[in-house]
Amino acid sequence: MRDIDTMKAYTLEEISTIVGGMLTKLEDVKITKLAPPLLADENSLALALNEDEIENLSQTKAKAALVPIGVSSELISTIEAERPRLAMMKLLHLFYMPPESTAGIHPSATVHPSAKIGENVSIGPNVVISRDVVIEKNSKILANVYIGRGVHIGENCLFHPGCNIGDNAKIGNRVILQHSVSIAADGFSFVTENPNNVENAREEGSVKKDNSNQKIYKIPSIGSVVIEDDVEIGANTCIDKGTIENTVIGEQTKIDNLVQIGHNCKIGKGCMIVSQVGIAGSCKIGDRVVIAGQVGMADHIEIGSDSIIMAQAGVTKSFPEKTILIGAPAMPRKEFLKHMKTMQKAEDLVNKFKEYEHLLKD
Residues 64, 77 contacting (CB under 8 angstroms): yes
Residues 81, 68 contacting (CB under 8 angstroms): yes
Active site residue 263: yes
CB within 8 Å of 359: residues ≥ 6 apart: none
Q: How far apart are CA 201 and CA 314, in angstroms?
A: 19
In Å, how far are 146, 287, 302 from 320, measured between CA atoms? 39, 12, 8
Q: Which conformational region is residue 294 in: left (phi greater than 0), alpha (psi within -120 to 50 degrees), or beta?
A: left
| Tally of CA atoms within 13 A in the half-sphere of 324 that contains its CB | 5
Catalytic site residue from 263, 300, 339, 358: 263
CB within 8 Å of 211: residues ≥ 6 apart: 192, 194, 196, 197
Q: Cite the active site residues.
A: 263
